[in-house]
Structure 1
Amino acid sequence: MSIRLVALTALTLLASGCVVEQPAPRPHPRPVVVEQPVVEREVVQREYVEVVAPQPPPTVIVEEEPVHRPGYVWAHGYWHWNGHEYIAVHGHWEAERPGYHYVHPHYVQHNDGWHLNVGVWVQG
């Protein structure tokens, strides 16, 4: 019986062998994701309606340009056609934009009447 016990123990040791623990595989690096609240910029959308007047605007200046204000451009006042008559729209200050110049509101005559081109900033 002792030989059987020794043989069984030897067989068990041979069958089990030496076990070496392998380190766990490293996961693939993943990008770090940080949740941040979405902040939407306030977008001012202006509805643009083509203004076509049947007659030219008055030649009277809406208002005189005020004294120069550093860092700003004076947007001239203009005459706005409301469908029945011209109404004076007063000028206002626009903050300067480096690399741009301001084109003041003005009317251009076409075959169907006088078209208002609103004041805009143009690159250059």
Structure 2
Amino acid sequence: MNVVRPLIKLRHVLLVPLALAALASTPVFAQPEIIIRQAPPPPRMEQAPMARPGYAWDNGHWRWDGRGYVWAPGHWQRMRHEGRWMPGHWEARGPNWYWIEGRWVR
């Protein structure tokens, strides 16, 4: 009886769950932290559309494109979690401005 074949199969059986666990713990994407020394312009006033079931309105905001601020208009966020949508915003920390991504809060 050949003992090597069952050991090879056993090794594959053990490696597959380990590989899947490693993939599951790896972030899908990493967003770089945006730090700017120039304050963003005042927000534009946008009228939010009527409520839409299953969605939350994400207000427009100024985003940094590498050379300056450009306006990103508001859009709908599909509800993925219970809770409410907290829009992204710029936050001052000393002389720098940091972009804080929008997120769902419970």
Scaled by the length of structure 2, the TM-score of the pair is: 0.63
Say if 2:50 is the partner of 1:67.
yes
Q: Which has the higher helix share?
A: 2
Alpha-carbon deviations, 1:24-60, whole Å to 9, x = none?
A: xxxxxxxxxxxxxxxxxxxx93330111121221113
Give the distance between the partners of 2:49 and 2:37, measured in 1 at CA: 31
Q: Could you give the per-residue CA deviations for residues 105-124 of structure 1, whole angstroms, max 9, x where no partner exists?
A: 101101241000011112x2
Residues 46 and 90 of structure 1: CA distance in aligned 2, closer, same or farther (over 3 Å): farther
User: Closer, same or farther in 2 for the Cα pair 1:60/1:80, shift >3 Å?
Assistant: same
Does structure 2 retain, via aligned residues, the 8 Å contact 1:108–1:115? Answer: yes
The CA distance in 2 between the partners of 1:73 and 1:57, in whole Å, is: 24
Q: Distance in 1 between matches of 2:43 and 2:31?
A: 25
Query: Aligned AA for 2:66?
Result: G
Structure 1: give runs of 5+ residues left out of the alignment. 1-43
Runs of 4+ in 1 over 6 A off after TM superposition: none
What is the aligned-residue identity percentage?
A: 31
Instruction: Summarize the alignment of residues 84-123 of structure 1 with structure 2, pairs less than 5 Å apart.
Output: 84-122=67-105
- Return the offset for 1:63: 3.5
Structure of higher RCO (CA pairs closer than 8 Å, 6+ residues apart): 2
Q: Assess if the C-alpha contact under 8 Å between 1:53 and 1:115 holds in 2.
A: yes
TM-score by length of 1: 0.55
- Give the Cα separation in 2 of the matches to 1:78 and 1:117: 11
Cα RMSD (Å): 2.1
* 1:47 counterpart (14, 27, 30): 30
